């Protein structure tokens, strides 16, 4: 309220207008002169003094908001401290998980490489075994056998199956260890994700979103911190305006009492109407004091003029007080919502902190899991590599076996050729020996015919012996080389030479 300063007698009060600077002041009303009019102004003024309850409520709101401010500072500090610590721990745990994840990825790559190598070795071995199975042994090599056999029939496949089973067992054990590590990493990551979601929120609902919304509802700029200080300042300004307005209402009431007491017959009415004032209202001493000093008619007219103007503005001042209180109540509700969200945020951070503590108690086991995987994988990898060497050796042996059979056929072809050459030499030799034998026999018979009658028989006992007659035959009785067809031998030669 703003006040005019009329020249009025002692005990009278200045006029009252609305505290809104833009409010216009009404034109002076006709000066009230009747006691009834003054009494009606006094009754209205007395009723307006109930606004003290609004002022008390405003004071309670300011006090409550100040308490909220102190609590918000403490809660925000705790929340910020915990969130910073949790964020640091999450960063560290994220590095631990990343390391374990790299172990998982490297293990998966090595495992896939081992499987690829195993598949290639198994494919080569299976191909060699299939070649052994489809390569039938020439029946002339074993003419007494009733059933033809393949090269595979001369191999114990049980060793191959046992070796492949051992390799598969090691691969499965390695896969199981890797699966355990994958599950452990996934579980640890989920735990980290739950803590992060509480502390950092999600893309759709970050933790600051609700608090930001409540800050916006307070209609203040709180980009640098809590909005409550600005709200508190706004509330204190409103509460001060309300107190100023109440003071103006009290002064108006005092002026009404003064005017009535300066009116004939008004003393008793003033005393009667001011007996039950609202508690806490501090009015002037005019009601219970001695009769006022007489004033001139001009002074009375000026006082009544101010009183009339103020009386017209009582309801406006009351409305302004109620509006201020309503605004403060709304602000208090929003502050309460904001505090609830601060409490919820702190509670969430505490929940994340406890989950983080639980996670850290399992950190040693988590780190140990990756170490256990490395040890188990190294052990199984060594076994797989050892059996891989056996598998490669077995494949080389079977390949050598298949190649040796082809070379056997080539060797048989060579021996056949040597037998044929030997037969030719033997036949030629026998033919020459027979020719010599016949020639010698003929000449011995001619000598006998020419000179036998003249020579005594006992002159040389060997005179009548026939010539030496030779026979060539094997001395060791070994069977001849099997009669393998030339086409079979030629195919074997081409395979050995890499032409088929």
Q: Which helix (H) or strand (E) holds 185?
A: helix 157-200
Instruction: Give the whole-angstrom CA distance, residue 318 versus residue 391.
Output: 102
Least confident span in 62-76, 103-117, 131-145, 485-499 = 131-145
Task: Work out the pLDDT band at 32, boundaries 50, 70, 90.
Answer: very low
The sign of the torsion formed by the CA atoms of 385, 390, 396, 402 equals negative
What local confidence, expressed as pLDDT, does residue 436 receive? 94
Q: Are 52 and 277 in contact (CB under 8 A)?
A: no
pLDDT over 50 (residue 292): yes
**Locus of tokens 């103006």:** 248
Mean pLDDT of 405-414: 92
Instruction: Give the whole-angstrom CA distance, residue 461 versus residue 465.
Output: 8
What local confidence, expressed as pLDDT, does residue 271 receive? 62
Mean pLDDT of 345-355: 91
Q: Tell me the HSE value of 47 on the side-chain side, using a 13 A CA sphere.
A: 10
Average pLDDT for the chain: 81
37-44, long-range: CB < 8 A, 24+ apart: 38/256, 38/259, 38/260, 38/263, 38/266, 38/307, 39/260, 39/266, 39/269, 39/273, 41/256, 41/259, 41/307, 41/311, 42/253, 42/256, 42/257, 42/260, 42/269, 42/270, 42/273, 43/273, 44/311, 44/314
What local confidence, expressed as pLDDT, does residue 462 receive? 86
What percent of the chain shows pLDDT beyond 90?
Answer: 27
What local confidence, expressed as pLDDT, does residue 340 receive? 92
Instruction: Give the whole-angstrom CA distance, residue 170 versus residue 376.
Output: 10
pLDDT over 90 (residue 404): yes
Mean pLDDT of 389-395: 88
461 - beta bridge partners? none
What local confidence, expressed as pLDDT, does residue 101 receive? 92
Task: Work out the pLDDT band at 150, boundaries 50, 70, 90.
Answer: confident
Is 120 or 202 the better-scoring residue by pLDDT?
120
pLDDT over 80 (residue 167): yes
Task: Estimate to the nearest angstrom the gap between the alpha carbon of 234 and the chain centroid.
Answer: 45
What local confidence, expressed as pLDDT, does residue 457 receive? 80
**Locus of tokens 């980290």:** 192
What local confidence, expressed as pLDDT, does residue 28 receive? 39
The 10s digit of each residue's pLDDT in 478-500 is 778 888 888 988 998 998 888 55
Q: What residues have CB less than 8 Å from 455, skipping those under 6 apart?
A: 463
Mean pLDDT of 166-174: 89
Least confident span in 85-99, 191-205, 213-227 = 213-227
């Amino acid at each position: 309220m703003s006040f005019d300063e009329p020249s009025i007698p002692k005990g009278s009060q200045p006029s009252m207008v609305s505290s809104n600077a833009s409010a216009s002041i009404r034109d002076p009303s006709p000066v009230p002169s009747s006691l009834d009019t003054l009494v009606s102004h006094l009754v209205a003024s007395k009723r307006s003094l109930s606004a003290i309850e609004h002022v008390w409520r405003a004071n309670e709101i300011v006090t409550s908001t100040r308490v909220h401010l102190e609590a918000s500072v403490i809660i925000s500090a705790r929340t910020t401290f915990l969130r910073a610590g949790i964020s640091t721990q999450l960063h560290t745990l994220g590095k631990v998980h990343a390391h374990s994840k790299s172990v998982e990825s490297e293990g998966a790559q090595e495992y896939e490489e081992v499987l690829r190598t195993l598949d290639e070795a198994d494919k080569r071995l299976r191909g060699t075994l299939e070649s052994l199975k489809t390569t039938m042994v020439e029946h002339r090599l074993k003419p007494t056998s009733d059933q033809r056999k393949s090269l595979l029939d001369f191999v114990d496949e049980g060793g191959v199956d046992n070796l492949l089973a051992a390799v598969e067992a090691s691969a499965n054990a390695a896969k199981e260890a890797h699966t355990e590590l994958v599950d452990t990493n996934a579980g640890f990551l989920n735990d980290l994700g739950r803590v992060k979601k509480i502390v950092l929120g999600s893309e759709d609902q970050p933790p600051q979103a609700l608090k930001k919304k409540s800050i916006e509802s307070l209609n203040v700029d709180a980009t640098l911190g809590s909005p409550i200080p600005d709200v508190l300042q706004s509330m204190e300004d409103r509460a001060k305006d309300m107190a100023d307005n109440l003071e103006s209402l009290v002064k108006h009431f005092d002026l009404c009492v003064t005017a009535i007491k300066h009116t004939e017959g008004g003393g008793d009415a003033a005393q009667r109407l001011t007996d039950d004032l609202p508690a806490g209202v501090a009015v002037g001493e005019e009601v219970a004091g001695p009769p006022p000093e007489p004033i001139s008619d001009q002074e009375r007219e000026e006082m009544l003029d101010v009183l009339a103007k103020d009386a017209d503005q009582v309801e406006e001042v009351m409305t302004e007080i109620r509006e201020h209180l309503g605004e403060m109540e709304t602000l208090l509700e929003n502050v309460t919502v904001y505090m609830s969200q601060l409490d919820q945020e702190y509670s969430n951070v505490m929940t994340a902190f406890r989950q983080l503590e639980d996670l850290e108690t399992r950190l040693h086991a988590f780190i140990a899991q990756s170490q256990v995987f490395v040890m188990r994988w190294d052990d199984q990898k060594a076994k797989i590599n050892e059996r891989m060497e056996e598998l490669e050796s077995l494949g080389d042996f079977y390949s050598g076996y298949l190649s040796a059979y082809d070379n056997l056929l080539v060797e048989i072809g060579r021996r056949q050729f040597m037998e044929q050459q030997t037969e030719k030499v033997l036949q030629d030799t026998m033919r020459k020996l027979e020719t010599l034998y016949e020639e010698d026999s003929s000449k011995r018979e001619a000598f006998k015919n020419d000179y036998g009658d003249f020579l005594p028989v006992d002159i040389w006992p060997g005179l009548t012996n026939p010539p030496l007659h030779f026979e060539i035959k094997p001395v060791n009785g070994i069977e001849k080389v099997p009669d393998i067809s030339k086409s079979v031998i030629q195919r074997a030669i081409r395979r050995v030479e890499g032409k088929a």
